[in-house]
Amino acid sequence: MKVNDILSDAPICAMLEKYASSSKLRLHMPGHGGKTLENFCDTPEGFLSALFRILPYDVTEIDATDDLLSPKYSILESEGKCAAMYGSEWSFFSCQGATLCLQTAVCASYRLKKQMGVPSPTFLCDRMCHKSIVNAMAVLGIEPMWFDPRDSSTYRKSDVVIVTTVSYYGEVFSDTDSLRSFFGDDTVFIADNSHGSHLMFTDRRDLHPLNKGFDLIIDSIHKTLPSFTGGAVLHCAESFMRLSGVKNEGELREMILSSMRLFSSTSPNFLILASIDLALAEVRSGISAGMSIPLNLASDMIRFIGDRLKDKFGFFTDDPMRAVLRGDHDMAALVRHLEQRSIYTEFYTDTEVILLFPYNMTRADAELLLEALESFETSGVYTPSDDRSPLSLPEKRLTLSEALEGTWEPASIFEALGRISADVYAPYPPGIPVMMPGEVFGEEECNKLSKQFPIVRVLKK
């Protein structure tokens, strides 16, 4: 694959190349003026050298460069290419991660339902949602009902339904038929697919929510595709336009962009934008080079490793690019064993280690990992178990807004037992809330939070 072929399909990168080589004097932000600091310092090495070389491409939004929040030129073109490869009606880029896309989707669906004559749109939200969704709802004064999309007994009629379609542990939610038959066509379905942007380019593309009837879909490109941290995309499916009943497409587009403007910085980072542009061009170049499934090679290697280790670890998840090592082993020792071989993992607990495989995984990477896992001495063998427990929620005393507006005081996590939370508490990773504002701390919640949140904010009595 030729680098120049990839670049010729990346409009934002092409714009930056042209601007960097043609601008002699920049009388605009950012303050470095695009000049490499090499002009003023000793010859840098390593990270500094890379940073200095990149400065000419770090620009702001002027006519020559385009504006993410009202795109007309290179950004619009790149978003159009993204929409075509995913099969969405429109795709909107974000340099503030999936967080900004989720805030935009919550706001846009709320405003759309209001526009359609629903006075107080109702939201049913996956309890396993990222805290950015809770924050967006709190700011907009939305009081959600919680549910577990895998348990139809928790379904309640509502105007907007939010589902985390891929969990941190690689579980993919795909039973949209049950959802659709319960909720019908007037409901807006939002998919937080942050951990699954790559699914569209694996042999499980059927699992991507754009192929599952969702209306607004959030892909956090930086998590599993090769963009810089912060790169994400909000896809709007054709079904969203249909259910909106809006005749003028431009109006609907503008409503989504104006929802994004409510939460976004007015200075989006062009280096992140260029990295989304390039990452997607790289995937497209794989497709046009005849790899109908660009991630096949990596997922084949992962399958091979998982099969070789099947007596030692639980390994496979629904997501072909993620594995969770499970088993009756000392996981901290396993992580140390891997680190001694310079292998660093995503996250681990006492019972599991999460591995995220990179888009560009090579055969040498796979061999390194396999050798390391095979040489880890284990006593027990792995026996799978299915211990999915039903959704259990702490007692709720106040609404999100009531709790966020109340007066609070700090308390140690164990003093908080029986008190009402004034904040969202979501241990990171994966950032899934254990406590919502307005809920009462129980023993289980205090235990879960004690490590990361020794002090919490509770409402004054």
Ligand X SMILES: Cc1ncc(COP(=O)(O)O)c(C=O)c1O
Interacting residues with ligand X (CB under 6 A): 97-99, 130, 132, 164, 168, 192, 194-195, 220, 232, 430-431
Beta-carbon contacts of 228 under 8 Å, excluding residues fewer than 6 positions away, are 222, 271, 272, 275, 276
Distance CA 92, CA 114 (A): 22
Nearest CB to ligand X, comparing residues 158 and 220: 220
As measured in angstroms, the least distance from the Cβ of 357 to ligand X is 17
Q: Distance of CA 383 to CAs 42, 306, 328, 373, Å?
A: 59, 14, 9, 17
Question: Of the two residues 244 and 317, which places its CB atom closer to ligand X in the complex?
Answer: 317
What does the DSSP 8-state code read for residue 195?
Answer: G
Cα separation of 68 and 25, whole Å?
23
Angle at 354 between CA 349 and CA 360, to 5 degrees: 155
Whats the size of the chain, residue-wise?
A: 461
Nearer Cβ to ligand X (97/209): 97
Min CB(95)–ligand X separation in Å: 10
Nearest residue by C-beta to ligand X? 97
Smaller CB separation from ligand X, 362 or 452: 452
- CB closer to ligand X, 98 vs 413: 98
Kindly tell me which of 78 and 132 has the beta carbon lying closer to ligand X.
132
Closest distance of CB 403 from ligand X, Å: 22
Choice between 98 and 281, CB closer to ligand X: 98
| CB-based contact 398:431 (threshold 8 Å) | no
From the CB of 181, what's the least distance to ligand X, in Å?
Answer: 25
Task: Output the smallest distance, CB 129 to ligand X, in A.
Answer: 7
- Residues in CB range of 451: below 8 A, 6 or more apart: 427
Cis peptide before 226 (omega within 30 of 0): no
380 Cβ contact list (under 8 Å, min separation 6): 327, 328, 329
**Cβ burial, residue 282 (10 Å; 0-12/13-18/19+):** buried
User: In whole angstroms, how close is the CB of 262 to ligand X at the nearest point?
Assistant: 16
Distance CA(128)–CA(391), nearest Å, equals: 10
Minimal distance in Å, beta carbon 392 to ligand X? 20
